[in-house]
């Protein structure tokens, strides 16, 4: 194996692949990155039996072949190289890397022990890469991190004809986002559970092309996997084998009151007031017509803070407590200038949703929840004493 490649191109591909390497590989070879040259194409791959990543770049090759190289070391080296073309040559059990005046000789790992990457399942359809990245980011924020309950660490991906619904919950909040896509087969219907962190990472880094090919293999023929292919990059992840909670049953259908608020100003106020909220103590929000008053702290040993913010509020005055992080995560995910919060009662979930601008479009039915492409973020309140 011998090839020449632009430094940025190589560094990007290696860095992207290295992100999915396991921090503590179960087998030493899994810490490796596989370099494979065929014709004038180099593929850079990583795999840990859960997630696979494969980036392809054009190179000037003089000799095909393959080599398995310690992945993190290769990523660190390529990131640090000077801005010159890179020449890589396999020399027996070592890999030589020359760039400008810098020369490296790296040990390689036994390539024959490396597992073959899962083949990409057949294409299910196309999604707009920016829409996908946004939607996944909006939903994955609500996923849990405690992997003793696998269901809560996943993002549910539901396909119903030309609509995809993503949902995730850590049992304290639930985020749901719908968006349109172009399925390969009209009328297709499927539902899978994807590890949230892997999905979020992949969606964020596959935006270099306009579209992503989404491919699925169901669990019936062995392990279910989800494949995502962007421009020159493709990744697969093993699906979670767990039932997702029947989340639609907990989405409130109507509300008793709602507030419309400026996201930026409200977020800043909430962040300030939350500074005195010690761990586990809530942000207390008192909604009255025209304004919300935020409080935190309160007992003698703690600090106290209070701030008013102008909002539109329609309904009976209401005092409700939120975990500040949960509220701020939701506010940061709506991606609109104004947001709406629907309330049922201080102990029932509140529903945060974005309000599209301009609002002056007459005759448009209210209820952003009904729009296609909508985002809803449910927060279970904190019960306040008394």
Partner 1 sequence: MEAMRREASVLHLDLDAFFAAVEQRDKPSLRGRPVVVGGVGGRGVVATASYEARAYGARSAMSTAEARRRCPSGTAFLGGRFAAYRRTSDVVMALLRELSPLVEPASMDEAYVDLAADSGHDLSVAGVTELGRRLKDRIAEATGGVTGSVGIGTSKLMAKIGSDLQKPDGLVVVPPGSELDVLHPLPVTRLGGVGPATAERLHQIGVKTVGDLAARSLADLVALAGKAHGAGLYALARAEDDRAVVPDRGVKSVSHEETFERDLTDLDVLNREIDSMAARVAERLRASAFSGRTVTLKLRRYDFTTLTRSQTLPQPTDDGRTIAAIARRLLSDAGTQGGLRLLGVGISGLSVYAQGDLFAEDLLTGEPEPLPDVVTAVDAPEPEPEVDLPAERRWWPGQDVRHEELGAGWVWGRGLGRVTVRFEGPLTPPGKVRTLSADDPLLHATDPPDWRTTG
Residues that bind partner 1 (CB under 8 A): 146, 148, 169-174, 245, 249-250, 252, 280-282, 321, 323, 347-349, 378, 380-385
Which of 41, 345 has the CB closer to partner 1? 345
- Helices 324-334 and 129-140: crossing angle, nearest 10°? 170
Smallest distance, Å, CB 376 to partner 1? 13
Which of 38, 146 has the CB closer to partner 1? 146
Q: Which of 48, 250, 25, 242 is nearest to 153 (CA)?
A: 242
Phi, psi of 338 (to 5 degrees): -120, 150
Distance between CA 193 and CA 272 in Å, rounded?
Answer: 36
CA 187 to chain centre: 26
Which of 148, 220 has the CB closer to partner 1? 148
Smallest distance, Å, CB 252 to partner 1? 8
User: How do beta strands 291-297 and 304-310 pair?
Assistant: antiparallel
Which of 214, 380 has the CB closer to partner 1? 380
**For the chain, how long is the longest CA-to-CA vector?**
77
Which of 54, 173 has the CB closer to partner 1? 173
Smallest distance, Å, CB 169 to partner 1? 6
Q: Which of 165, 184, 183 is nearest to 251 (CA)?
A: 165
Which of 306, 356 has the CB closer to partner 1? 306
Which of 102, 250 has the CB closer to partner 1? 250
**43 in helix, strand or coil?**
strand
Which of 88, 142 has the CB closer to partner 1? 142
| Cβ atoms < 10 Å from Cβ of 249 | 6
Q: How far is CA 149 from CA 152, 153, 168, 242, in A?
A: 6, 7, 13, 9
Smallest distance, Å, CB 134 to partner 1? 24
Smallest distance, Å, CB 385 to partner 1? 4
Distance between CA 1 and CA 116 in Å, rounded?
Answer: 19
Q: Which of 127, 168, 133 is nearest to 329 (CA)?
A: 168
Tokens linked to 284: 């207390």
Altogether, the residues listed in the chain come to a count of 386
Smallest distance, Å, CB 245 to partner 1? 6
- Helices 129-140 and 196-205: crossing angle, nearest 10°? 150
Distance between CA 175 and CA 140 in Å, rounded?
Answer: 8
Q: Which of 226, 141, 201, 213 is nearest to 19 (CA)?
A: 201
Which of 212, 350 has the CB closer to partner 1? 350
């Amino acid at each position: 194996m011998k090839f020449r490649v632009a430094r940025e191109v190589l560094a990007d591909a290696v860095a992207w692949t290295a992100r999915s390497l396991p921090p503590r590989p179960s087998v030493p070879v899994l810490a490796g990155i596989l370099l494979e040259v065929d014709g004038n194409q180099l593929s850079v791959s990583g795999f840990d039996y859960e997630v696979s990543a494969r980036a392809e770049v054009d190179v000037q090759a003089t000799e095909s072949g393959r080599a398995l190289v310690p992945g993190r070391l290769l990523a660190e080296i390529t990131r640090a190289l000077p801005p010159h073309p890179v020449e890589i040559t396999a020399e027996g059990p070592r890999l030589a890397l020359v760039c400008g005046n810098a020369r490296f000789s790296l040990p390689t790992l036994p390539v024959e022990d490396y597992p073959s990457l899962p083949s990409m399942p057949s294409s299910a359809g196309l999604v707009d890469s920016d829409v996908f990245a946004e939607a996944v980011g909006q939903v994955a924020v609500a996923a849990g991190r405690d992997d003793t309950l696998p269901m809560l660490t996943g993002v549910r991906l539901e396909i119903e004809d030309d609509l995809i619904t993503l949902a995730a919950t850590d049992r304290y909040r639930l985020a749901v986002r719908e968006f349109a896509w172009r399925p390969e087969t009209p009328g297709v219907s499927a539902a899978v559970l994807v590890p949230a962190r892997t999905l979020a990472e992949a969606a964020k880094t596959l935006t270099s092309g306009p579209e992503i090919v989404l491919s699925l293999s169901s669990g019936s023929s062995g392990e279910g996997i989800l494949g995502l292919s962007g421009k020159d990059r493709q990744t697969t992840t093993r699906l979670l084998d767990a039932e997702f909670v029947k989340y639609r049953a907990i989405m409130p259908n109507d509300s008793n009151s709602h507030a419309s608020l400026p996201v930026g100003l409200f977020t800043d106020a909430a962040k300030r007031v939350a500074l005195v909220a010690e761990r586990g103590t809530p942000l207390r929000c008192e909604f009255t017509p025209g304004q919300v008053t935020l409080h935190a702290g309160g007992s003698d040993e703690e600090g106290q803070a209070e701030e008013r913010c102008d909002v539109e509020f329609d309904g009976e005055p209401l005092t409700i407590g939120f975990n500040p992080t949960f509220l701020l995560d939701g506010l940061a995910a709506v991606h609109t200038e104004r947001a709406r919060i629907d309330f049922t009662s201080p102990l029932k979930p509140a529903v945060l949703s974005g309000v599209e601008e301009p609002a002056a479009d007459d005759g448009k039915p209210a209820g952003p929840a009904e729009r296609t492409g909508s985002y809803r973020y449910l927060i279970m309140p904190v019960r306040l004493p008394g």
